[in-house]
Structure 1
């Protein structure tokens, strides 16, 4: 079964989108804290207070869909240019929410209960999002899938955009402290 938790155009600043469960959560610019030990540069899951997702469009609106799955998804659809998977743990006694930069926009994700999760972020149009910051309509799209799973290393499943390749090279590979 698939439970849709969010499906809408989310207006971001600085391309910041977080899944968080702490008042202290949310990306604060500390790449090492969010990407420590990870190979990818798009989805930071090393911080215990949440997961940072780098949206290609710096400002403006990008369609974001978040779904909770009962079982692991199959292979990602070929229409998604960039796909990354990470693991995270949602602790007991927290409220899970999504939020944009500085908490400007947010919403609750009440169906996510405490436990271990795998998070797959699928992206399409990252190059257009990076280049089309002031475009009138949507130019990049995101599907965030979550399912119960034991912790595992992050995986870059697919890189099809120059934008994702840049971020993987710039922020990823933090297995060794820089």
Structure 2
């Protein structure tokens, strides 16, 4: 494999992460896919490209249920992994993964708060579907008590809000 191919491969999303995840041992597709912050198709593509470029090899190990496909680094892959370790890139990749997962968790938490925020719901529900004071109180009580309101109520609220937004958008277009 030429240097251009190595360079091209390593610049692709998830490529170095795949090598880091395999490291000095071996890993299954599931292990790699869970660890690499990329889509499953991207991970699959990087694994196939790394095999084609002779950076990793596939082995099959017997299990109680058949065989298990495992990925290990070739000598060339190990040289790249050694460089990753020498420049502390592995540590940065793992930090980035942790930060990204923390960010995703905080984003989920934010969206949960926004979806349960009665002021926002009242403000953005539109005149077609104003929340009654009773609905607001029930939603607020659930939010502040730490209880989770029934999913159906939130799904209906999201549906109603989306429907109201579409009606407003269509009426705005008609006014133009």
TM-score category, normalised to shorter length: under 0.3
TM-score (norm 1): 0.22
Q: Please report the TM-score for the alignment, with normalisation by the length of structure 2.
A: 0.22
- Which structure shows the higher helix fraction? 2
